[in-house]
Amino acid sequence: MPRTAEIIAQALYEEGVRYAFGIPGGEVLELLDAFRTAGIKFVLTKHEMGAGMMAEASYQLTGKPGVLVATLGPGITNTTTAVAQALLDRSALLVITGEVAASLKPIYTHQIIDQEALLRPIVKWSTTIAAKNTFDQVRKGIAIAKGPMPGPVHFNLPTDVAGSEQGEGRRFAPVALRSLPRREDLAPV
């Protein structure tokens, strides 16, 4: 059975994503391994803000969502300028942040902040990836990011969830939305 990180990587690959940008940390290693296996190249950067700008440029050049990967603490706080830029530029950006295991969160004392609350004001949607229906969550996020008025979405990925095995459930099929009416829907002039 596939692991959560593998399902995320597969959903992104199916969307046409071929690059992800960021700085690795222990909380995202499972995901980076899944990217490599799926055929998504991880581009190591010096700073998360630069990684976010590169991911946004990737969207602007290819039309495929850009992917920014960051770890917890200063890793996620360093993303905020790039994420806000993606919102203002209407760029589909997928921000994936690693987080300590859900079971450790109540007792872990190092670099713990509410990651969803931090990014919520500058993303279209923020969610913590669950240990089931991951493919649906990722497809929903991609649809929101690419929808009318494209923008960033945030996936928070706890380490215990990233490595957990899942059965593939139903597959989310996003509905295509149009921001402009079709010519045939307009009344004759």
Show the domain range for 81.
Answer: 4-166+179-185
Report the DSSP beta bridge partners of residue 41: 19
Q: Is residue 127 part of a domain?
A: yes
Q: Is residue 153 part of a domain?
A: yes
Calpha distance 156→134 (Å, rounded): 12
- Residues 165-183, mean pLDDT to the nearest whole number: 62
Token output for 15: 């969307």
pTM of the model: 0.85
Q: Is residue 19 part of a domain?
A: yes
| pLDDT of the residue at 176 | 58
Q: Is residue 129 part of a domain?
A: yes
Q: How many CB atoms lie within 10 A of CB 173?
A: 9
Query: Into how many domains does the chain fold?
Result: 1
CA 155 to chain centre: 5
Reply yes or no on whether the pLDDT at 80 is more than 90.
yes
Q: Is residue 171 part of a domain?
A: no
Residues shown for the chain: 189
Q: Is residue 174 part of a domain?
A: no
Reply yes or no on whether the pLDDT at 151 is more than 80.
yes
Using one digit for the tens of pLDDT, what is the confidence trace for 87-122?
999 999 999 999 887 777 677 666 777 788 889 999
| pLDDT of the residue at 177 | 56
List the Cα angle 29/32/37 in 5-degree steps.
130
Report the DSSP beta bridge partners of residue 170: none
CA distances from 87 to 73, 141, 150, 174 (A): 22, 14, 8, 21
Asked whether 115 and 108 are in contact (CB, 8 A), the reply is no
Contacts of 188 (CB under 8 A, 6+ apart): none
DSSP letter at 142? H
CATH number, domain at 159? 3.40.50.970
**Nearest in space to 88 (alpha carbons), one of 56, 54, 49, 120:** 56
| pLDDT of the residue at 112 | 73
Token output for 45: 């950067």
To 10 degrees, the CA torsion angle through 15, 19, 20, 26?
Answer: 110
Calpha distance 39→15 (Å, rounded): 12
Calpha distance 4→161 (Å, rounded): 7
Amino acid at residue number 121: P
Reply yes or no on whether the pLDDT at 62 is more than 80.
yes
Q: Is residue 89 part of a domain?
A: yes
Q: Is residue 173 part of a domain?
A: no
| pLDDT of the residue at 184 | 74
